[in-house]
Structure 1
Amino acid sequence: MTNDLEADVLICRAGAAGLTLAIDLARRGVSFRLVEKTSEPFPGSRGKGIQPRTQEVFEDLGILDKVVAAGGVYPMMRDYRDDGSFIVKEFGERSEATPAEPYHIPLMIPQFLTEKIMRDRLSELGRRVEFGCELTGFEQDGHGVTAHLSRSTGEETIRVRYLVGADGGRSFVRHALGITFPGKTLGVRAIVADAALTGLDRDVWWQFNSGDMQRMIAICPLGGTALFQVQAPVPPEGEVDLSAEGLEQLIAERTGRSDVKVQAVSWASAYAMNARLADSYRAGRIFLTGDAAHIHPPTGGQGLNTSVQDAYNLGWKLAAVLRGAGDELLDSYEVERRPVAEEVLGLSSRLLDAGKRGELRRGREVHQLDIGYPQSPFALEPVSRRHGLRAGDRAPDAPVKGAAGQPSRLFRLFVGPHWTLLVNGQRGVASRPGLHIHHLGERGDVVDAFGCVRDAYGLAPDECLLIRPDGYVGAILTLDAEGSAQLETYLDRVGLPSCGEGSK
């Protein structure tokens, strides 16, 4: 047992949120421990949809290509009527890619494959998950958190600066803090199972009895595997047989087909759908992220995605405060992310109601590309700016060329843990560690060869735009005397010291 500082951050549980936070902290050189009470990785497919905004996050974290290679796109849905006829339809809206939005349709990949890719990325960065290690208690004071850990080899007490509870809807951390989790049970109980079966082709998503909550069942081929995911509402009470025999009987009863044979079930769960939101995301030096802070029905394909983006928002802020930024930056985590969860809860609940009527269809609203933080205390722009891109908006992509003529993209300039400053013109800005400065226009190092930067950003001459490490616009300013002073103050606030100043 030791009470010496063991790490800067302790992350409780290694699901998608915990892994995202760990990858982000690792690439920033922040010391942390990532503990997972189970002895093995999560084996199921629960969060299988990767929305376009999360694909952008994954590109920044260095895992998108592997996620795409391991998964696939959603198949068409074959929706059967009672008379045996069917219609084939898109499950969601399919839009075209644009220069500003290069990823335009959700990907399908089972959660266990996504998390494996994330663990592999963490290993590349020299870090790992501590499986079989459970957080059993903690206390905090003004300087840090004392955490008690348990594993088969014994007990351990460690001292860290911050604790992050990424430990799911039944969060131990949230309960121990006494943070309430108001919301409601939505009156729907369902099963989800990953099964090896025969009798169904893998080129469509099979749907039967849409809108009938007593008989509905969906059977979807899981991209990147030989498995199918089986989803169905079930009675609110009583045992549910999730064995291969039980699933085979359920499929036969609800499809009228006796030719579908279930060979094995690799993972299955019965659960009641809830919509709940924690009253607070922070208690001193302790934070909640992902399902520990919000849970909602799976109908919008939002759960894993919202969790990833929670952690992506928190990671750079923790790193900045550890290096000298003010504590107000950590307060902005809840200010920015809790309203997003409120919207997601409403969206998922509305889509669940549509599903009950057999009218479920996902559109742009599930892609999460329109999420922004315009009310953030770290969104700075002139009062006069009333049009186009605003501070707090997601920063669009755009194809560009370097001054040497090679093709590139703005997202390629943004990749990494740094801030990015785009300057329209040749106004000088003092460099700072952690800030990458690029100039557009004549004699700039970035050439808007196709006019896409102009279209997406609408920067006026001598205007600059500051992109946060998580891909949102932090500030839009004109580099006159007043604007330059505002920029310098902003950079100080977010922990980017002037050259030679060092960390506080």
Structure 2
Amino acid sequence: MTNVLVVGAGPTGLTLAVDLARRGVSCRVIDKEVTFPAGSRGRGMQPRTQEVFDDLGLIEAVHAHGSVYPPIRAYQGGEVVWEGTMSEYVEPSADVPYPNPWMIPQWRTAQLLRDRLAEFGGAVETGTELVGFEQDEDGVAATLRRDGVNERVRVAYLVGADGGKGPTRRMLGVPFDGETRDDIRMLIADVRVEGLDRDHWHLWREPMIGLCPLGGTDSFQLTIADPDRELSTIEQLAAYFAERTGRTDLGLSGLTWLTVWRPNVRMTSRFQVGRVFLAGDAAHVHPPSGGQGMNTGVQDAYNLGWKLAAVLRGAPEVLLDSYEQERLPVAAHVLGLSERLLARRTMHRGHEERQLGITYQDGPLAVDDRPSPGSVVAGDRAPDGPCGDGRRLFDVFRGPHATVLAFGAECEGAVRVTDPEAFRIYDVEPGTLVLVRPDGYIGVITRDAGRLGSTGWYSRDAAMVS
């Protein structure tokens, strides 16, 4: 029997599939589309998501096929009237190796994940639609349709990563509360541009029109705020652009993707119903302000993958309850952040959007029994840093395992950390043990090795042996 059926092959579903595949969990990934979607869509990969891709073995490919965000150049016609940046550049540090957002088209992100899944022997089943399911205490019976033919499959768990309009949430009967803003429209298209440098993000106001070079491609992402007419062909786009900007010297061509969106701000109150889970846009839909939607979905998958694998290997099933307990508050907070950025209509981005400060310290899997916890506590992201033996902590974490760090102490199965910089970063005293979850968050901070298994999911066999 297949263990997990993943419905939807966007970045969320693919991240989950890769994470399950590297853990040896049998998984099917289906998508109703016959061809893989094009389009830059969510082009911004936040620092925390880059750390996820580091763990999945994809960070080099991500950096090879994208770019930093270029500086912004604003025009009045052909005259430059302002120059600046979307966010302050931050130098990499010992604890944060990827501190800046990275620009990579969403179609490329999905392609890299599919390639990684193929390395584990997996593939997306395109043209395959979920048309129904029933669940009981032992599993989920799902009906799939491909080429007009139905197939009945039974799986242990089903994950709906099929977007805001996908069938999984609807079949669960879970409401999707929120609103669609009809007062705001944005046209987004991927085009080629002749006569414009690729070193800047070019903007014109009234109406707001932007051309942003997409790293790793020869295209620009064109954005037009509230267009006053239908624009569906490259000829119409080129004429409108020249009319509104006065830049008749630029040539637009090579339209490969176009969409018009209205901001959706919606979220479900349930991320899990029995053996069926919702992740990504199926659970929460964000406006694109701040570049939070795709990144939040990826981290939903990253949170859920190791828990599904652990339960399938015998961990208590109650571990799966922590998915909703941890991710629902995060999604609600990020959704509020996206709304605030949309309301401000500002291009500037701060540190909160980078998602490095997301914490589960109030969740059910965080145990910190120190009388006086330091600045890093259980539930926080586990920072990078030097071990003291020539390795970095992210090198130690990389892979599907949990990791016990023993700071200046000996503990069977633990990685001994001796570098003073790591002590400073983690703000711990000698003799402290830190259990890092498979998703790179701190589960337990203690001086008692017997407390490492106190949340019920950890066993020494699941940890890395140094």
TM-score, normalised with respect to structure 2: 0.95
Match of 1:337 among 313, 317, 327: 327
Answer yes or no: is 1:231 the counterpart of 2:223.
Answer: yes
Answer yes or no: is 1:489 the counterpart of 2:454.
Answer: yes
Answer yes or no: is 1:324 the counterpart of 2:307.
Answer: no
User: Aligned letter for 1:309?
Assistant: Q
For 2:191, the equivalent position in structure 1 comes to: 195
Preserved CA contact (<8 Å) 1:139 1:147: yes
Deviations 1:108-127 (A, max 9, x none): 11111111111111111111
Higher mean displacement: 323-332 or 287-296: 323-332
Higher mean displacement: 120-129 or 73-82: 73-82
For 2:201, the equivalent position in structure 1 comes to: 205
User: Aligned letter for 1:415?
Assistant: R
Q: How many Å separate the matches in 2 of 1:172 and 1:272? A: 21
Deviations 1:131-184 (A, max 9, x none): 111111111111111111111162211000100000011121011111111112
User: Aligned letter for 2:457?
Assistant: V
Structure 1 residue 327 displacement after superposition: 2.0
Q: How many Å separate the matches in 2 of 1:101 and 1:75? A: 21
Q: How many Å separate the matches in 2 of 1:269 and 1:112? A: 14
Q: How many Å separate the matches in 1 of 2:68 and 2:385? A: 24
Q: How many Å separate the matches in 2 of 1:298 and 1:250? A: 23
> Secondary structure at 2:362's aligned position in 1?
coil
Q: How many Å separate the matches in 2 of 1:159 and 1:143? A: 10
Q: How many Å separate the matches in 2 of 1:299 and 1:37? A: 28
Higher mean displacement: 344-353 or 55-64: 344-353
> Secondary structure at 2:189's aligned position in 1?
strand
Structure 1 residue 495 displacement after superposition: 5.2
Q: Within 5 A, what are the aligned runs for 1:156-171? A: 156-171=151-166
Structure 1 residue 459 displacement after superposition: 2.2
Deviations 1:357-409 (A, max 9, x none): xx42001111111111111100001162332210001011012342xxxx220
Deviations 1:3-27 (A, max 9, x none): xx3x010000100000000000000
For 1:104, the equivalent position in structure 2 comes to: 99
Q: How many Å separate the matches in 2 of 1:376 and 1:19? A: 26
Deviations 1:417-472 (A, max 9, x none): 0010011234434x4xxxxx2123xxxxxx41xx2201111222322000000100
Deviations 1:42-84 (A, max 9, x none): 1110011111111110000000101100111111110124794
Q: How many Å separate the matches in 1 of 2:454 and 2:68? A: 45
Preserved CA contact (<8 Å) 2:78 2:247: no
Preserved CA contact (<8 Å) 1:240 1:270: no
Match of 1:26 among 21, 26, 30: 21
Q: How many Å separate the matches in 2 of 1:375 and 1:194? A: 42
Structure 1 residue 255 displacement after superposition: 1.1
Structure 1 residue 239 displacement after superposition: 6.5
> Secondary structure at 2:180's aligned position in 1?
strand
Preserved CA contact (<8 Å) 2:264 2:286: yes
Preserved CA contact (<8 Å) 1:400 1:409: yes
Answer yes or no: is 1:439 the counterpart of 2:413.
Answer: no
Which runs of 5 or more structure 1 residues have no equivalent in the other structure?
432-436, 441-446, 500-504
> Secondary structure at 1:305's aligned position in 2?
helix
Runs of at least 4 residues off by over 4 Å: none
For 2:169, the equivalent position in structure 1 comes to: 174
For 1:126, the equivalent position in structure 2 comes to: 121
Q: Within 5 A, what are the aligned runs for 1:234-273? A: 234=226, 240-273=230-263
Q: How many Å separate the matches in 2 of 1:127 and 1:332? A: 27
Preserved CA contact (<8 Å) 2:78 2:246: no
Q: How many Å separate the matches in 2 of 1:459 and 1:263? A: 57
Answer yes or no: is 1:477 the counterpart of 2:446.
Answer: yes
Answer yes or no: is 1:368 the counterpart of 2:364.
Answer: no
For 1:220, the equivalent position in structure 2 comes to: 212
Q: How many Å separate the matches in 1 of 2:411 and 2:394? A: 23
Q: How many Å separate the matches in 2 of 1:225 and 1:497? A: 45
Deviations 1:216-247 (A, max 9, x none): 11111111111110112225xx8722210121
1:109/1:488 CA distance change after superposition, 3 Å: closer
Higher mean displacement: 344-353 or 157-166: 344-353
> Secondary structure at 1:99's aligned position in 2?
coil
Higher mean displacement: 371-380 or 325-334: 325-334
Match of 1:391 among 375, 378, 384: 378
Structure 1 residue 354 displacement after superposition: 2.0
Q: How many Å separate the matches in 2 of 1:304 and 1:354? A: 21
Q: How many Å separate the matches in 1 of 2:229 and 2:151? A: 39
> Secondary structure at 1:92's aligned position in 2?
coil
Q: How many residues align?
A: 461
Q: How many Å separate the matches in 1 of 2:5 and 2:245? A: 48
User: Aligned letter for 2:246?
Assistant: G
User: Aligned letter for 2:398?
Assistant: V
Match of 1:62 among 52, 57, 60: 57
Percent of aligned pairs sharing the same letter: 47
Q: How many Å separate the matches in 1 of 2:434 and 2:68? A: 34
Q: Within 5 A, what are the aligned runs for 1:421-436? A: 421-429=404-412, 431=413
Higher mean displacement: 287-296 or 181-190: 181-190
User: Aligned letter for 1:189?
Assistant: R
Match of 2:391 among 408, 411, 427: 408
> Secondary structure at 2:176's aligned position in 1?
coil
Q: How many Å separate the matches in 2 of 1:325 and 1:193? A: 46
User: Aligned letter for 1:318?
Assistant: L
> Secondary structure at 1:400's aligned position in 2?
coil
Q: How many Å separate the matches in 2 of 1:239 and 1:247? A: 10
Q: How many Å separate the matches in 2 of 1:296 and 1:207? A: 23
User: Aligned letter for 2:400?
Assistant: P
1:497/1:91 CA distance change after superposition, 3 Å: closer
Q: CA RMSD in A?
A: 1.7
Structure 1 residue 305 displacement after superposition: 0.8
User: Aligned letter for 1:24?
Assistant: D
User: Aligned letter for 1:138?
Assistant: F
For 2:287, the equivalent position in structure 1 comes to: 297
Answer yes or no: is 1:458 the counterpart of 2:454.
Answer: no
